[in-house]
Amino acid sequence: MRIQPLSRKLIGGTAALLLAAGAVGLTTGLLAQDKVSYTDLSSKITFDKSDLKRQAAVTSYADVLEGVLPAVVTIYSTKEVDTRRSPMFDDPLFRRFFGLPEGEVPDMHRKQHGLGSGVIITTDGYILTNNHVVEGADEIMVSLSRDQKDYEAKVVGTDPQTDVAVIKIEASNLAHATIGDSSKLRVGDVTLAIGNPFGLEQTVTRGIVSALGRSNLNITGGGYENFIQTDAPINQGNSGGALIDAQGRLVGINTAIQSGFGGGNIGIGFAIPVNMALDIVEELLDQGRVSRGFLGVYLKELDSTMAMALGRDDRSGVLVTEVGKDTPAETAGLKAGDLIVAYNGKPVQSMTKLRLDISNTEPGTEVTFSVVRTNKKMDLEVVLGDLEDRSLAMGGGSEDEDAGSAEPAKSDTKFLPGVEIGELDDSVRSALELDEDVKGVVVTRVNGGSLAAEAGLQSGHIITQVDQTDVASVDEAMKARKALDGEALLLQVYEGGRRDILAIRVEEE
């Protein structure tokens, strides 16, 4: 199974699917300043956020579609790309055969053409679409099917981390979509997808909302995801098109599909909620960029063993595995091992949802984190920073390079079944290239079949905490270990410049 964006690229006249939805630039902001604020823009948008009128049976959606179809447009993009020069051009016989003069280098550039969709949201030509539809384009043309006209478009702003873009054409009195409220969607609501798959303009398909809040799909290449999932059939060329409800209101921007090995639609499509898309547009117009709240921690979901180690009855909450230096989290007193259970009074559902909520909060805002630390609940007030100003991004990081293995110490101590630890002396610190501020004990041996190995503990790891207690010597580690009153032990470990937290089931020998 693979996730694919829904735009279509025509390379050298031959159709080829664009497979890398995450292969987008990192520039976020206005590319063509239009001197318009979001307040001005929103005054031109038609909103209808009333509750959906849910009916038992519908025989036709023709009347609903009549009002929204003219607002869905086709977007053609063109950009010049470099092509690889064949080594055959260095062969004198090849050059003579084709009559190429010595020293003349043939032009290795070509035009790449893209096809996608967009939705007109104002009468004067503002259009919502996906960033990957227009990213890097030298020229963008918009085709309106009803009046058979083509318009040159300019990019007003883009945000690759959510795959949202807004473009504009110079026109007036255009049909435009009515904006609904995507937060009121429920699983099972009817959805209609409109776009231009494979160049077939104004194609409409029907389905339902299959799920809400889909994330961790890597559609945005590590960005921020909160997708509506639908089984309304959508295909290549639908990127940027409209997902509407049964009353014809825009509730999402079609973005990607999950396809089988054949590359076709299998009934799993994803759309950006329109509320989220307009929040991005507001930031782009009013600030010239998307500012995101920054906390400065690394987070981890709980598994059953970790929940047991924390004395929890369920896996709710998100665990802080590391707190960055000089970050809002450190200033407020958040610590590794804290379990975040609520954000501004709302229960934390998952790491990705918490990450999204923090990013959606304006930098400089004071927020409240409810945490559980050593079985005690407390509230911490944090003033969020600006993510763009920081080098430490929150959320699960990439895998680190191997930190190497430690030489066995002279007096290794049995710590757990199959695990031995030793003092972090100067020789070990030098071998592992550890900074002086790293305190703990070194893991010198882990048996391959042990529960500790299954949990991810490795030789060379530095144990910095045992059961949420800082340790700087073998004696301190053993004391914390013997004080354990439970069936699982929580360890904070350091490796390759990063800290993580492992939960290990404890068995008596």
Q: Which of 132, 245, 359, 412 is catalytic?
A: 132
Q: What is the pLDDT of residues 452-501, one digit of tens each?
A: 888 889 888 999 999 888 999 999 999 988 888 788 888 999 988 888 89
CA distance 159 to 77: 18
Which of 147, 145, 142 lies closest to 116, judged by CA?
Answer: 142
- For the cut 90, the answer to whether the pLDDT of residue 4 exceeds it is no
Catalytic residue check, 239: yes
What DSSP letter does each residue of 244-282 carry, written as one string? EETTS-EEEEEEEEEE-TT-SEEEEEEEEEHHHHHHHHH
Query: 432 and 422 in contact (C-beta within 8 Å)?
Result: no
| Residue from 239, 259, 291, 359 carrying the catalytic annotation | 239
- Judged by DSSP in three states, 341 sits in strand
The pLDDT of residue 330 is 92
State the burial class of residue 136 (Cβ atoms within 10 Å of its Cβ: 0-12, 13-18, 19+). Answer: middle
Q: Which amino acid is at 382?
A: V
Its pTM stands at 0.68
Domains identified in the chain and CATH numbers: 2-50+62-85+109-283 (2.40.10.120), 293-389 (2.30.42.10), 413-505 (2.30.42.10)
Is-catalytic flag, 279? no
Number of Cα atoms under 13 Å in the Cβ half of residue 328:
24
In the set 159, 163, 231, 467, the catalytic residue is 163
The reported pLDDT for the residue numbered 80 is 72
% of the chain residues with pLDDT over 90: 38
Q: Has residue 34 got a pLDDT over 60?
A: no
Per residue in 36-58, pLDDT (tens digit) is 888 889 889 999 988 887 776 77
- 466 and 481 Cβ atoms separated by less than 8 Å: yes
Whether 393 has a pLDDT exceeding 70, the answer reads no
**Whether 304 is catalytic:** no
Report the relative pairing of strands 29-30 and 339-343 from DSSP bridges: unpaired
pLDDT, average across residues 9-28 = 32
Check whether 351 has a pLDDT greater than 80.
yes
